[in-house]
Amino acid sequence: MKLIAIDLDGTLLNTDSVISPENRAALKRADEAGILVAICTGRATFDVKALLEGLDIPIIAANGGTVHDKGYRLVSRMLMDQQAGKDIAAYLTAKEIYFEVYTDDHLLSPYDGETKLQAELDILKSANPNEDFQTLWQGAKTQFKQFGIKPVQDIQAVFNGDEHIYKLLCFSFDMEKLKNAKEEIKHHHKLSQTSSGKHIIEILPADSGKGRALTELASLYGIEKQDIYAIGDSPNDLSMFAAAGNRIAMGNAIDELKEQSTYITKSNDENGVAYFIHQLLENQI
């Protein structure tokens, strides 16, 4: 049995954050051919479920924070240490860095987050008038369009309750802020970090990651590493690549993924996932 693990943003989703009809049809074709197809993403499980629109396949979400099998059955979860999360959230708040908290039911965000990011972008405009600001702001807007996002007055309060917390996602146009935040996170041994974009830091439990969760899902089905196909485009897909015998980089992927890939497909706006699946099923790979 083969397993195809597919990232979402920049991979299965096009630049409009939509699964194209071609990609959706390819997922169904692979499933009908007896291949286990799974989503392996940094997004929250409920967000993925909404995007799949009834397509019943396993979901690895929050960069390995949760693993759901078919039928939305929870296989495992990996939670963030409450005190470590509280400490880093306090730092991010003090430094005025926008961040979201991933829980079972919501993506909690600061009520004034969009306003603060717009102010950052205005500062960037004054210093770099030749930047493509429309594209930059589109990246920020993707955060606010996620299913389940919930602005709150006191985002740090979540760490005082009994919510399950899987990860924090930071977004900033101020690269110096992000650089300093990355250094701060390194001091917290119960936390790890990765990224799905230039302006993003994803903060995870120390032992979390797509690779660990993918290995767990494959083991559940008795699938060996050589039969795992991982498809991605960003730094947070590196651990997934390490867990797979077959590593498929999108045409729009970062160079590091392409260098580690066993196959490079077309871009996410050219239905690169569907192209790869058709090649695989037709024994062209």
Instruction: Supply the residues annotated as catalytic.
Output: 7
39, 6 contact by CB (below 8 A): yes
Distance CA 154, CA 259 (A): 43
Q: Which residues pair with 98 in a beta bridge?
A: 171
Q: Distance (Å, rounded) from C-alpha 86 to C-alpha 67?
A: 24
Tell me the helices (H) and strands (E) count for the chain, helix number first: 10, 14
Q: What whole-number distance in Å separates Cα of residue 253 and Cα of residue 268?
A: 9
Q: How far, rounded to the nearest angstrom, does the alpha carbon of residue 183 sit from its chain's CA centroid?
A: 21
Beta bridge partners of 5: 38, 230
Distance between CA atoms of residues 170 and 176, nearest Å: 13
What's the first-to-final CA gap in the chain, in angstroms? 16
* Cα(175)–Cα(162) distance, integer angstroms: 33
* Number of neighbouring beta carbons within 10 Å of residue 82: 16
